[in-house]
Chains A and B, each alone.
Chain A
Amino acid sequence: MEPMASMANIIKLREFRTFLFLILLFIIVGFMNPDYLSLQNIDKSLKSSLMYMVLAVGMTFVLLTGNLDISVGGTLGLTAAVCGTILRDGGSIFTAVIAAILIGAGIGLINGFGVIKLKISSFIMTLALLSITRVIQVMYTNGKWVENIPAHVKRLSNFEILGINVLTVIVILAVILVQVFLSKSSKGRYYNAIGDNVDGAVSLGIPVKRYIAYSFVISGICAALAGFIFVSQIGFVSTNAGVGMELTVIAACVLGGVSLSGGIGTVVGAALGAIILTSINSALVYMKVPAFWNDTISGSLLIIIVVMDALLAFNANKKAKKLRLNARVLQKEAQD
């Protein structure tokens, strides 16, 4: 009985449905073009989604608390430019990563300050910071591309053991670790609690403001790390590196079942959403569909899944209400 029950629970999970969708996507496209199912392509799909997965992890923290971080694209662009410049001028990888993390954390702190102290809605605050970081990036690079990244940096993202990309494994392990932290440790559950019910979280003695600030800092650091991955994978930084990524990442999180009103969602789901969105890109290539269909398909997919989720939640709510009402009636009858 016990394993059956846990099995049923897993099937009910939103992440499981996302995962099923991902498998279905691969099977359908693989049916049309068997090359799509080759290990090489799966490896490639995963590799190109790494940046988005890292961004999605950070974004999930912010979304869980019921806020939004639009600035990640700007943070990614700026840190990629800084990392690229440091590496190009002969700096070590360690210095570059530390610099990136410091910048990301700094931007996260500013976001947190605006949201908590100035009481600006997170959407507005991070949108403003997005445009500010973009300008700073242009100022820093003088509007030029950062090129000539040393080869050993580029090799970092292609480093393989037994044919498996090490960076991919590291990111996937990190996603799982973060998930364990979020769902098992009490500190991790604070993020869910804050988004679910702020007043309740305050009454429980959770330092709500501090944890909201943490979430922005985590998102900033994740964006900075994604910026480093950008440099390593792409090998140059153009002035519009990261443009529009923030919206793709939010879309990925929503696809993976993270609610924008907070309190619901997992990092694993968000990462799966990121893989789906990038896999659609390559799926179109393998199905010989022109690439300009990309946004239309991602957009309609997002809308369909979100509306389905909302209808499911609405029905579940209705059912729960009915159950509660019935129970109350029964209770009353028993009292009489």
Chain B
Amino acid sequence: MLKKIPKWNLVLFVIIVLEILVFGMMNPRFWNTSILLNSFNDFVPIAIIGFFLTLVVITGGIDISGVSIIGLSSVVTGLLSQTAGLNIWAAVVCAVLTGGLCGLLNGVLIAYARVQAMVITLGGMLLYSGIAIVLVGLSGVSTYEGFTGFPESFGQMANGEILGLPNAVIIFFILFLIAYILLHRTRFGRYLYLTGINQNTAEYAGINTKRVMMTAYVLSGLSAGVAGVVLTSYLGSARSDYGAEYLMPILTVVVLGGTLITGGKGGVVGTALASILLGFMQIGLQMAGVATQYIGLATGVLLIVSVAFLGINPDFRLNVKRIITHKQNGG
């Protein structure tokens, strides 16, 4: 059973355990389970996008427009429910679908017009955040406060809890499961890997690689829409600049999770573990008294170290892994 788990995920898991131990020793409040579980709220949008960005990266693409779709979906939720007077849940559905539509535009242009994913999603990033700003500007709401006054039930979506588990944790696992099943348990998932390993071969094998790629971008857009709604529910207001600082952490969780940026290799379990690792690190550093603005330093270093470690000298990596797994078995 143990052999089936990719070793990199085991490494991540060990680091999370170490993190909990070390940060807990610095500040015993860190060992409080409810604080740990509630900290999910802070990184759940990052994780949600990370799961589905993993699918895109596995096909050999990249999607950096998610950070703007968060803001757009948040503004759409606010605009439809507060200004247009639509039922809040209908507005939520529309917001998520807006994200999907953005993803569809990305996907069509990347898969069918064969433009580089980086360029299209860069343009998309400008465009979608631009549309969000325009919507806020036209509706006459203050840019700084955004749309407020959401019903209680909507706020409960991210802030409430079921059976003692914060909803954020539940949302995290639901989306993780969807991504996991899609990637590891369906034919579509296999197609994603094949497309990433060698698109031509996959095409010759009769896979409609263009549609597979497009679907990956649509899923990524939808997930960003969900992330925007969750963030709006958590913070209680809808603003166009939500998510603007998430590019770095989103890519960090995907890459740290062991997904190859060139495509063909990776998985969402790694992404999930990496997002928990990163989220706990932020909380831990904050609790240890490190100012929030310095945390970017830790994230950046972590990103470089993890990619270097994953990319450099496979023998060295294997040795380290062996030592770690040996310890596991011994303990």
Contact = CB atoms under 8 A, between A and B. Distances in A.
B124 A118 contact: no
A130 B248 CA distance: 9
Given A121-B261, A130-B248, A296 B131 contact: yes
Contact of B248 (A119, A131, A310): A131
Interface in B154-169: none
A303 B296 contact: no
B118 to A, nearest CB: 5
Contacts of A118: 304, 307-308, 311-312
Interface residues of B, number: 42
B134 A293 contact: yes
A250 B122 contact: yes
Contacts of B299: 128, 131
A293 B130 contact: yes
Size category, A interface: 35 or more
A49 B108 CA distance: 33
Nearest to A136: B297
A119 B311 contact: yes
A318 B90 CA distance: 47
B208 to A, nearest CB: 19
A260 B118 contact: yes
Contact of A138 (B115, B137, B293, B300): B293
B115 A298 contact: no
A247 B126 contact: yes
Interface string B104-130: 000001000111101110111111111
Contacts of A127: 247-248, 251, 303
A127 B118 CA distance: 14
Contacts, number: 135
A261 interface: yes
A142 to B, nearest CB: 11
A15 B294 CA distance: 42
Contacts of B120: 303, 306-307
Interface in B79-121: 109, 113-116, 118-120
Contacts of B293: 135, 138, 143
A309 B123 CA distance: 14
A160 interface: no
B307 A124 contact: yes
A303 B109 contact: yes
Interface string B296-316: 110111011001100110000
B262 interface: yes
Contacts of B36: none
Contact of B123 (A124, A290, A294, A303): A303
B115 A299 contact: no
Majority secondary structure, A binding face: helix
A306 B137 CA distance: 28
A241 interface: no
B260 to A, nearest CB: 9
Nearest to B293: A138
Q: B126, B136, B294, B303 — which one has the most chain A CB atoms within 10 A of its CB?
A: B126
Contact of A247 (B109, B122, B297): B122
B46 interface: no
B255 interface: yes
A114 B312 CA distance: 11
B133 interface: yes
Interface of B: 62, 109, 113-116, 118-120, 122-131, 133-134, 136-137, 247-248, 251, 255, 261-262, 293-294, 296-297, 299-301, 303-304, 307-308, 311-312
30 contacts: A68-B118, A118-B311, A119-B308, A119-B312, A121-B261, A121-B262, A123-B62, A123-B118, A123-B261, A125-B307, A131-B248, A131-B299, A131-B300, A135-B293, A135-B294, A138-B293, A247-B125, A251-B122, A292-B134, A293-B130, A295-B126, A296-B127, A296-B133, A297-B130, A298-B130, A300-B127, A306-B115, A306-B119, A306-B123, A307-B120
